[in-house]
Amino acid sequence: MQQTVPFARMNGLGNIILVVDMRGRTDRVTPQAAIALNADPATAFDQIMAIHDPKAEGTDAFIDILNSDGTKSQACGNGTRCVVQALSAESGRKHFVFHTVAGILNADEHEDGTISVDMGRPEFAWDKIPLSEEFADTRSIELQIGPIDAPVLHSPSVASMGNPHAIFWVDQPIDTYDIRRFGPLLENHPMFPERANITLARVLSPTEIDMLTWERGAGLTLACGSAACATAVSAARTGRTGRDVWLNLPGGRIHILWREDDHVIMTGPAEWEFSGTVDPATGIFARDTEALAF
């Protein structure tokens, strides 16, 4: 088996993604390779999207997702858009069906270059998110940071978009909160047996939200697509917004539509940075001298 495979460093609204072409192989990108790639500034990333041959009939590929600490992730919306752009550049196709551990994702590239991903239906049941404690209403759960009589953050909404999310609603500008300090504490809080993505969200209007996410297994990120989806549906579910909203992330704006059939449609850009080859076992890579597609 050939030792190296093609890869591309891309981004979705600044969410750094490594798309690795593992088609035609039976091995996987190892956690050791992910950690090594993230340790190099040239290939530091938020998620790896490893494209494998399809496992399910009617799908184009199976996508294996790794975080920068080598752990697995169930979903990555920004990464899925990057995969679509890479495969569309290779094949000229505009519609794709992907299989992930979180389920089946349909995705489309539009004429303006933006990409829509059907992220599926959100899950609000406490044991499906999952939480370690039962809550009948997950629009607001008992969890806080800071003094008990004057918490800095409290009463988050929780949801799953294939991965667990906690959204803390704030009234002040997002950058006034020290998410680097409490993000790791909340990510690893006993309430979340599988850890959680932690988002600060400030509602500006019924159609616009500012947000910032501490991403499970990756840390502070410029954008997190699944967190944008979880924030949008939680805002609508709590009456803060409608079901059609724009999210302002540090990396840019993303559009979320929570359709009447309960599916969440995320639309935004993807950007190709550079390509190369990588050993999926070790993470040793070589950069192409020209920007090449797969």
In angstroms, rounded to a whole number, what is the distance separating the alpha carbons of residues 176 and 221? 17
Alpha carbon 71 to its chain's center = 14
Distances (CA, A) of 189 to 131, 133, 161, 183, 230: 10, 12, 19, 10, 19
For this structure, is 224 an active site residue? yes
pLDDT at 293: 65
Residue 23 CB burial class (10 angstroms; 0-12, 13-18, ≥19)? middle
In angstroms, rounded to a whole number, what is the distance separating the alpha carbons of residues 142 and 189? 12
Task: Check 16, 34, 49, 76 and give the catalytic one.
Answer: 76
Task: Check 224, 230, 245, 270 and give the catalytic one.
Answer: 224
For this structure, is 229 an active site residue? no
Q: Domains, the chain, ranges and CATH?
A: 5-120+270-287 (3.10.310.10), 144-262 (3.10.310.10)
Which token pair is 37? 């790639």
pLDDT tens for the chain, 294 residues: list them: 679 999 999 999 999 999 999 999 999 999 999 999 999 999 999 999 999 999 999 999 999 999 999 999 988 899 999 999 999 999 999 999 999 998 899 999 999 999 999 999 999 999 999 999 999 999 999 999 988 888 999 999 999 999 999 999 999 999 999 999 999 999 999 999 999 999 999 999 999 999 999 999 989 999 999 999 999 999 999 999 999 999 999 999 999 999 999 999 999 999 999 999 999 999 999 999 766 666
